[in-house]
Amino acid sequence: MGQKIQSIGGSPLDTITLTATDDTVKTLSAAVLSRLGALRVDDKHDTFHVMITVETYGIRFAFGVDPVPSGLGKPVYPSQDIHLDSRSQARRFRYCNATAGENSVLHIYPEV
């Protein structure tokens, strides 16, 4: 059985931790998007990549619509990653907890 190793191709910025709870669908917060907006290197090089790792309990995510714990949205399980390669994806990214009664912890790894 092979082990999956992540390659970080740019310069990583500070890791951000978010939590998914039972009560609401969440988006990447304005503070997170603001920090991601700072990834612009210059006018000609707009490097952008964000890796999101689900640490505890599964989530569901969708783009532009609210995912539903019991159906709509792509399920992602603990230790799986989501990769966003554009600001549009980051702005439209919505997620919710997929395990009732348990909070999911996400780690956000932006890089330039």
**Average pLDDT estimate for 43-50:** 62
Q: What percent of the chain has pLDDT over 90?
A: 32
Q: Is 58 exposed, middle or buried (0-12, 13-18, 19+ CB in 10 A)?
A: middle
How far the first Cα of the chain sits from its last, in Å, is: 32
What single-letter amino acid sits at 59? I
pLDDT class for 96, splitting at 50, 70, 90?
A: very high
pLDDT tens, position by position, 7-29: 555 556 678 888 888 768 888 87
Alpha-carbon separation of residue 13 from 2, 33, 72, 108 (angstroms): 28, 13, 32, 10
**Average pLDDT estimate for 86-108:** 88
Give all domains of the chain, ordered by start, each with its CATH number.
Answer: 16-111 (2.60.120)
